[in-house]
Chain A
Amino acid sequence: MSVWPEERVTPNSDLDTVDMTVNVGPQHPATHGVFRMVLTVDGERVVDCEPYIGYLHRGLEKLSENADYRQAMGWWDRTDYLAGMCCEGAYVMAVEKLAGIEVPERAEYIRVLMMELSRINSHFMFLGAFGADVGSFGTSFTYAWRERERIYDLIEEVSGDRMFPTYFRIGGITMDLPENFESRCRWVLGSIRQGLEDLDGLLTGNEIFVERCQGLAPVTPEQAIAWGFTGPMLRATGVPWDIRKAEPYSVYPQMNFEIPTGHQGDVFDRFHVRLAEVYQSARIIEQCLDEMPAGRVLAPKLAKTLRIDDGELYMPTEGTKGEYGVYLMARGGTQAYRAKLRAPSFSNLSPLKELVVGTYVADAIVILGSLDIVLGEVDK
């Protein structure tokens, strides 16, 4: 059975030419993971684009049905592997809401702090890799990586692991923050602000960068909503919707932060929205550090193995790429009856063909980079 689209003769042309299919294969430095797209190009213009996903499908949902609620969390932070704590947070908050467990306030603040650090981590990854996609030979990469290494050091201090921390527990977090974490965290925030200035100076003011990105693949808010865009993709079109403000959870109602938006939803606006969001996340982290109460970090009197009676819920959270939603259905017992991940990158990636057709091959790569997908959550 053929997995290649058929080659078609270029219409409306005096020359008898055939469009060329170019496979931007699963192994490629530009595709941010195992993702394959088959571009049909007419010269340098893209005429058709067929995305193929599923190379990283690991059966998250089936696995979650066969493990305890507590055990399953270990798989969930491997979905958006660039921001492990955000995914853990979403899953754990969904289970707690379903089971009716209340989390101590200190744990909530620490959770928000960790989730925002992960968000900054993921956005720096985007900023670095996007500069590399546009062609700036990795200078943006190393600038972004300096900040990411510092954040990884913080996360490792707190939980013992850099990428897959499994730091959250149902009912709180594993253990309290280490001593003097606050001073180190504030130092890292200062460094993050400096890193943002560096990246801004390197890329945003650069004429070539602006020429490459501005006006590329603009999206109107109606189109974005119809396609299911959420997160920075939607905010770049001008819709100021952030689940942390619209359907707030944890201690976000007490946090002061703003929602950066763009104008026309093109690639440059998406870049800029993510750049601004890092600054807002830094504000939230500072507020967490300032306001953190003392107290327990794990809810008292938790059962050894959690059993949840019949119930279902859908918990949307603001993941780093958009709306990271967890749907859980429990029917008694220690295991979920159905656990579903609503992955933001999945919806952001689905209209790739409409975004890319009509642009150049080089632009297709840049647009793909601007979607900021992470294949772990696309493929579950």
Chain B
Amino acid sequence: MTFGDAFFGLSWLDAIIRVLIIVGAMTVVVVYLTWGERKVIARFQMRLGPTRTGPVGLLQGVADALKLLSKEDLRPRNADRWVFEFAPYLTFIPVFLVLVALPFARDWGVRNLALGMFFVFAVLGLNIVGVLMAGLGSGNKYALLGGVRAAAQMISYEIPLVVALLAVAMVAGTLDLNAIVLQQADRPFVLIQPLAFVIFFTAMLSELHRAPFDIPVAESEIVGGYFVEYSGIRWSMFQLAEYASLWAFSIFGSVVFLGGWEFPMGLEWGWGWQLALTFIKSFIIIGLIFWVRVTLPRLRVDQLMSFCWKVLIEVSFVLLLVNGLFLVYEWPEELLALANWAGTFVLLGAVYLHATRKPERKNLVGSYKHAEVPTP
């Protein structure tokens, strides 16, 4: 029996078993992602990270989970009870739904939907409802600020995310995730659609509330934002949702852009290599996300919104138009790739020039290399 057939021939049992496997895998991955993040960030910050719980701190995630399970389940008196209690579930369920549609290897996935990409977009929006419920239902002004900021941010950044992925779907000609992977047998889409990858990565960071877009959970200002009033197991649901969506998005990104389980040599070398490829690629993207988090300060909410509405949306629509032109007139794919790379360089070049344009920064008096004494 290959993994492609239904388990025991019963489609309902098969669905349950596959779901349970995914849940198990996700739990383990999330626990070790928290460990991995702490170790990676610690190394960037010249320290070690968890070292005491188990060898190299490997049991840290388990220790955290045990601690959170044993905490008191608090609910503020001002909180709207049912909104407060259901918010974590609404944040977590969409993530899990996304995992249902993703292919981990040739036949390894819960269901292979013909409209896989569309399904992923659709359920992403439910996340926003959960966040907003948490913010409004907590009875806390910090939570409200965080929830409102989060809602505005997530809604705005959905647009470039979806448009960039649509551009890729146009080139692939299908919304079926398995088919998209199969089309990348020769070259991953990141090589012919780099601009879409850049937009996807930026928008994904924002959907995940990750630095530099982590203003809804700005630790140093509103101390946790929308989940500040949650403790114990409810809070761990939020964290589970965050890390699971991190992993889900990374797999999604690797499936659409990096070649998923196929590139290179996926079909020839069997499902073991395919699984390994998926995991390696998703961890590459996760590593990039951690790196960006530990290095960059956070954008302020108006800068964030203006970046989305004034830069990313324009660029993603231009990308869609250009892709459309190339596909309608059936110009060769190499030209499309060239146009895309040109677009990427233009965008990154513009950002670089913008970053280095300010004259005041060049002539700083008192820069520690050239301190001077001005005449009074």
Contacts and interface: CB of A to CB of B under 8 A. Distances in A.
A2 interface: no
B367 A142 contact: no
Contacts of A44: 145, 149, 301-302
A131 B220 CA distance: 10
B219 A29 contact: yes
A214 interface: yes
Nearest to A239: B376
A139 B371 contact: no
B47 interface: yes
B296 to A, nearest CB: 6
Contacts, number: 129
A362 B215 contact: yes
Most buried by B among A23, A136, A278: A136
Interface string A190-219: 000000100010110011111110100000
B172 to A, nearest CB: 34
Given A135-B298, A258-B372, A365 B220 contact: yes
A343 B295 CA distance: 35
Interface string B321-355: 00000000000000000000000000000010011
A137 B40 CA distance: 13
Contacts of B358: 210, 214
Interface in B213-249: 214-215, 218-223
A212 B297 contact: yes
B221 A365 contact: yes
Interface residues of B, number: 47
B138 to A, nearest CB: 14
B368 A208 contact: no
B159 to A, nearest CB: 21
Contact of B366 (A132, A261, A360, A365): A261
Interface string A164-206: 0000000000000000000000000000000010001011001
A361 B41 CA distance: 27
Contact of B298 (A30, A142, A208): A208
A214 B360 contact: yes
A142 B354 contact: no
Nearest to A360: B300
B19 to A, nearest CB: 35
B53 interface: no
Interface string A336-371: 000000000000000000000000111101000000
A356 B366 CA distance: 26
A208 B299 contact: yes
Contact of A276 (B46, B293, B354, B366): B366
A134 B47 contact: no
B145 A208 contact: no
Interface string B136-163: 0000011011000100000000000000
Contact of B218 (A21, A135, A363): A135
B361 A210 contact: yes
B371 A276 contact: yes
Contacts of B45: 138-139, 141-143
